[in-house]
Structure 1
Amino acid sequence: MRTPPDRREFLKIGGLTALAVGAGSVPAPAAASASGARSAPGPADWRALGAGLEGKLVRPGDATYDSARRLFNPAYDTVRPAGVAYCANASDVAECVTFARRMEIPLAVRSGGHSYAGWSTGSGLVVDVSRMSSVRHASGRATVGAGAKLIDVYDRLAANGVSIPAGTCATVGVSGLALGGGIGVVSRKYGLTCDVMESVQIVTADGRLLTCDANHDADLYWASRGGGGGNFGVAVSFGFRTHPVREVTVFFLHWPWSKAVKALRAWQAWGPSAPDALWSGMHLTNEGGRDVQVVGLYLGGRADCERLLDRLTGAAGSPSRSTVDQTSYHRAMMLMAGCGSLSVAQCHLGGSLPGQTRAGRLSRDTFTAASHMAYRPLSEAGAGALVAQVSRPGDHTVLLDALGGAVGRVRPDATAFPHRAALYSVQYYAHRAGAAAWTRGARAAMRPHFGDHAYVNYIDAGLSGWRSAYYGQNAARLARVKAAYDPGRLFRMPQGI
Structure 2
Amino acid sequence: MEPVPAGRTLDRRTLLRIGGMAALSAGAGLPPARAGSSAPAGPSARTGPRPSDWNALRRGLEGRLIRPGDAAYDAARRLFDPAHDAVRPAGVAYCANPSDVAECVTFARRLGVPLAVRSGGHSYAGWSTGTGLVVDVSPMRKVSHASGRATVGAGAKLVDVYDRLAAHGVSIPAGSCPTVGVSGLALGGGIGVVARKYGLTCDVMESVQIVTADGRLLTCDADHHPDLFWASRGGGGGNLGVAVSFGFRTHRTREVTVFFLHWPWRRAARAVRAWQAWTPSVPDEMWSTLHLSRSGGTDVQLAGVYLGGKAECERLLDRLADRIGPVSSSSVRKRSYRQAMMIMAGCSSLSVSQCHQDGSLPGQTRDGRLSRAGFTAKSHLAYRPISEAGAERLAAEVARPGDHTVLMDALGGAVGRVRPDATAFPHRAALYSVQYYAHRSGAAAWARRAHAAMRPHFGDHAYVNYIDPELRGWRDAYYGANAARLARVKAAYDPGRLFRLPQGV
Normalising to structure 1: TM-score of the pair?
A: 0.95
Query: What RMSD, in angstroms, separates the aligned Cα atoms of the two structures?
Result: 1.5
> What residue in structure 1 maps to residue 4 of structure 2?
4
DSSP-derived class of the 1:54 partner? coil
Cα distance in 2 for residues equivalent to 1:288 and 1:215: 53
Query: Which residue is 1:295 aligned to?
Result: 303
What residue ranges of structure 2 are gaps of 5+ in the alignment? 21-39
Q: Verify the 8 A CA contact 1:168 1:337 in the aligned structure 2.
A: yes
**Cα offsets for 1:243-293 (capped at 9, x unmatched):** 000000000000111110111111111123321000000000001111000
What pairs up with 1:397-412 in 2 under 5 angstroms? 397-412=405-420
In terms of mean alpha carbon deviation, does 312-321 or 148-157 score higher? 312-321
CA-to-aligned-CA distance 1:428-464 (integer Å, 9 cap, x gap)? 0000111111111111110000000000000000000
3-state DSSP of counterpart to 1:360: coil
Could you say what secondary structure the match of 1:71 adopts?
Answer: coil
- Shift in Å, 1:393: 1.1
Counterpart AA for 2:349 = S
Code of the aligned partner of 1:495: Q
Match of 2:391 in 1: 383
Query: Who is 2:25 aligned against?
Result: none
2:81 is aligned to 73
**Contact kept? 2:285, 2:306, Cα under 8 Å:** yes
Whether 1:236 and 2:244 are equivalent positions in the alignment is yes
AA in 2 matched with 1:220 = L
1:11-30 correspondence to structure 2 within 5 Å = 11-15=16-20
Q: Residues 381-426 of structure 1, C-alpha deviation per residue, up to 9 Å, x if partnerless?
A: 0001111110111110000000000000000000000000000000
2:323 corresponds to: 315
Matched, 1:217 2:225: yes
CA spacing shift, 1:485–1:32, aligned 2, 3 Å: closer
Letter in 2 for 1:72: F
Equivalence for 1:88 = 96
- What SS is found at the alignment partner of 1:464? coil
Cα distance, 1:133–1:103 mapped onto 2, change above 3 Å: same
Q: Which runs of 4+ in 1 moved over 3 A?
A: 12-15, 29-33
Note if contact 1:179-1:229 (Cα within 8 Å) is conserved in structure 2: yes
Count of residues paired in the alignment: 481
Distance 1:272 1:372 in 2: 18
Aligned to 2:414, the other structure's residue is in SS state helix
Q: Distance in 1 between matches of 2:3 and 2:118?
A: 33
Post-superposition offset of 1:14: 4.9
Q: Percent identity?
A: 78
Q: Which amino acid aligns with 1:472?
A: G
Match in the other structure for 2:504 = 496
- 1-structure distance, mates of 2:42, 2:119: 30
Counterpart amino acid of residue 426 in structure 2: P
The one of 429, 446, 451 equivalent to 1:421 is 429
TM-score, scaled relative to structure 2? 0.94
Tell me how far apart the structure 1 counterparts of residues 18 and 419 of structure 2 sit (CA, whole Å): 30
Give the Cα–Cα distance (whole angstroms) in 1 for the partners of residues 258 and 478 of structure 2. 31
CA contact (8 A) 2:2 2:19 kept: no
Q: Deviations over 1:218-266 (max 9, x none)?
A: 0000000000000100000000000000000000000111110111111
Task: Give the match for residue 22 of structure 1.
Answer: none
After superposition, the C-alpha distances for 1:101-152 in whole angstroms (9 at most, x for unaligned) are: 0010100000000000000000000000000000000000000000000000
Q: Which residue of 1 aligns with 2:361?
A: 353
Matches of 1:2 and 1:276, distance apart in 2: 22
* Per-residue Cα deviation, 1:71-104 (whole angstroms, up to 9, x for no partner): 0000000000000000000000000000000010
Unpaired segments of 5 or more residues in structure 1?
16-28
Any residues of structure 2 matched to 1:151-166 within 5 Å, and which?
151-166=159-174
The residue number in structure 2 matching 1:199 is 207
Match of 2:129 among 118, 121, 124: 121
